[in-house]
Amino acid sequence: MRRWRLWVVLVALVAGVAWWQALPRPLPASTLDGITGDASRGALVFAAAGCAACHMAPGADLTDAPVLSGGRAFPTAFGTFIAPNISTDPVAGIGDWSDMQILNAVMRGIGRDGQHLYPAFPYATYGHAALQDMADLISYLRTLPADSTPSKASKLAFPFSFRPALGLWKRLFIAPGWVVSGDLTPEQARGRYLVEALGHCAECHTPRNILGGPERDHWLAGAKNPAGRGRIPNITPARLDWSKADIAEYLKSGFTPSYDTVGGAMAEVVANTAHLTDADRAAIAAYLKIVPPVAR
* DSSP per-residue letters across 222-272: -EE-TTSSSEEPP-STTT----HHHHHHHHHH-B-TTS-B--TTHHHHHHH
8 A C-beta contact, residue 232 and residue 204: yes
- What is the DSSP code (8-state) at residue 110? B
Dihedral of CA atoms 71, 114, 142, 120 in degrees, nearest 10, equals -40
Highest mean pLDDT among 97-101, 115-119, 159-163, 208-212: 97-101
Task: Kindly report the number of other CB atoms within 10 A of residue 280's CB atom.
Answer: 23
Q: Strand 79-82 to strand 155-156: parallel, antiparallel, or no bridges (unpaired)? A: antiparallel
* Structure confidence at residue 77 (pLDDT): 83
Q: Is the pLDDT of residue 188 over 90?
A: yes
Which of 41, 190, 46, 177 lies closest to 106, judged by CA?
Answer: 46
What integer pLDDT is reported at residue 42 of this predicted model? 96
C-beta atoms surrounding 119 within 10 Å: 22
Q: Are the C-beta atoms of 94 and 86 separated by less than 8 Å?
A: yes
Q: Please tell me the distance from the alpha carbon of residue 179 to that of residue 217, in angstroms, as a whole number.
A: 9
pLDDT in tens, 196-252: 999 999 999 999 998 889 999 999 999 988 766 778 899 999 999 999 999 999 999
Distance, in Å, from the CA atom of 27 to the CA atom of 13, rounded to the nearest integer, reads 27
pLDDT band of residue 136 (cuts 50, 70, 90) is very high
Type of residue numbered 279: A
pTM: 0.90
The pLDDT, as a whole number, for residue 29 is: 94
For residue 11, pLDDT over 60 is answered with no
